[in-house]
Structures are given as C-alpha cells and as structure tokens.
Amino acid sequence: LSLRRVLKAVVSTQSTGNYQHQRTYENWLVLKLILFKFINSFLALFYIAFYLQDFDKLRDTLAALLITKQIVGNFGEVLGPSLMSVAKVYLLQRRHGNPKKEESVKLSQVETESEKPAYESSFDDYLEMFIQMGYVILFSAAYPLAAVWAFLNNIIEIRGDAFKMVNGVQRPFMKRVENIGFWADAFEVLSVISIIVNCSLIGIRGQVGRWFPDATPGQQILVVIFMEHLFLSIKYVIARAIPDVPAWVELEREREKYKREQALKGFADLMRKTKIKGKLKKKSEDAINNLKTKQSRYKIE
C-alpha cells in the first residue's frame, strides 16, 4: 500500500508540472518512475553485493525476488482486472433485472465492456520489463539462472497480457508512435550499468586473482577495467552493426511510398485529362451553339 501511495504521489506531482509538449511530460514521468523503482528494487541487492559481499545470499535473494515478483505479477495482471469486470457485470445485470424474481438480464458486448476498467497506458508493462531486465543482467555474474526464469516468464506473460487485453480491460484505442520513446534510452543505460556491475562483481569475487595468480591488487583492478572497456566496445560494435530498422521493413516502407506516389501521380493525370476533356467538350458545345445560331439567322433572312 505504501508503495502504491508513493507511485501515485510521483504521478500526481508530475501532473502538476507545466510542460509544453505531451512527449516531454511522458519522458519526465518515465524518468521519475524508473529512478524510484530502480532504487526500490535493486538497493538491497547492491547492499548485499558490494557492502556485505555475500554472494550466496545475493543469489538466494535475487532468485526469491525474481520468481516471487513474476508469479505475483502474472496473477495480479490477469486475475485482478478480470475479477473486477466480472463483479461489475454481475451487479449491473442484477440491477437491470427483476429483483423480485431474482432474475438478471443479458447485457450486450458494449455494456459488458463499459464496465471493465480502462487500459490507461503501457507504462506499467514497460516498467515491469525494465525491472525484470535489471534482475537478469545486473547480477548475472552471481545468478546466471535468472535469464532462464525470465524467459519462461515472458512466454507466460505473452498469453497473460493477451488475455488481459481481450477479457480484462476495455478495448484500447490504437495510437501511432514513432518509437518507444524514453524507454529505449532507459534500457540502453541499464545495459551499460550492467556491464560495469558485473565486471566489478568478478573483481570482488577474486576470479581475476585465480586467472592471474601472480597479479598484484593494482594489476587486478586494471584487468577489471580492461574487461569493462572491452565489453562496452563489443556492445557498441554490435549496436552499430545491427540497424535499428531491419532491411525488409525499410524495403516495405519504400515500396509503400512508391505506391503512394504512383497513386497520387495517376490521380493528378486523371484530373488533368478530365479537365482537358471538360474544356474540349465545352468548346465543342459552344461551337455547335454558334453554328445553330448562325443557321437560324440564315433561315430568318
């Protein structure tokens, strides 16, 4: 309850700001939510990893948090809105039915969907994926099995979100956007932080000393820094090598653009031909009228 109150306070304080554009408002809202959830979700793990340096406890805590959060989150997302909508529909049916005979009427699809909670936005879904990604990649050196649990959860999450969108909430309206906005930057920053954290965990656990037994503490730190720079360079190369827009998508865009241009060109040619035909028809009609007028004058004379 206290967490929900804090989140509502964050959203309410964000709503009081005077932002010129809706995108700016959403970016600042995402930033505030991410900072709050990041501290709330990972502060205990950072404390165990870097202050207590108890990696067995870190592994157990991470596994408990990840698995529990996934189970509770899936049940809450699917059952919560569905139960609320079923209860509201049942009460509405009894309200419109005959209370003396305890009969209920059958509602139409529109009336049924009107009683379902509205799908506000995709912020909660993106935030859930952000936290899950943090659990997987921030401390993967201590608990590599987290990626397996996250993969299984995402398989269930796909069907759970589909069930929620179809049966649990009102049908959302489509909104065309260019990209996912500030969330892309948030995931990018999280990936960079994960490289630094995991290299630090490798150095703290003494793995560098086992790799290089004759290395001094200073040399071990240099090895950790070299590893961190190496992984960041590999990440940068991979990010540059893989285009943001796949080649087949770019090809389809160009094809659709060409079709639109050809359609507009054909429409312009049709309009021009129609206009020319109209002018020729008008001239021919005027010539025929003039000829008829002259013929009528000759007959009178």
**How far is it, in rounded angstroms, from Cα 57 to Cα 118?**
41
For residue 178, the 8-state DSSP code is: S
**Mean pLDDT split into 10-residue runs, the chain, 301 residues:** 55 62 78 86 91 89 88 76 70 60 60 73 84 91 89 87 79 78 88 92 85 85 91 90 83 86 76 65 63 57 52
* Cβ atoms of residues 182 and 27 within 8 Å: yes
Q: What is the pLDDT of residue 231?
A: 92
**One-letter identity of residue 65:** L
Q: What is the pLDDT of residue 237?
A: 92
Q: Is 232 in a helix, a strand, or coil? A: helix
pTM of the predicted structure, to 2 decimals: 0.72
| Residues 6+ away with beta carbon under 8 Å from 82 | 163, 164, 167, 168
* Structure tokens belonging to residue 46: 């950072």
Q: What is the pLDDT of residue 28?
A: 82
DSSP of 7-62, one letter per residue?
HHHHHHHHHTS--SSHHHHHHHHHHHHHHHHHHHHHHHHHIIIIII--HHHHHHHH
Quote the distance between the C-alpha of residue 185 and its chain's center: 12
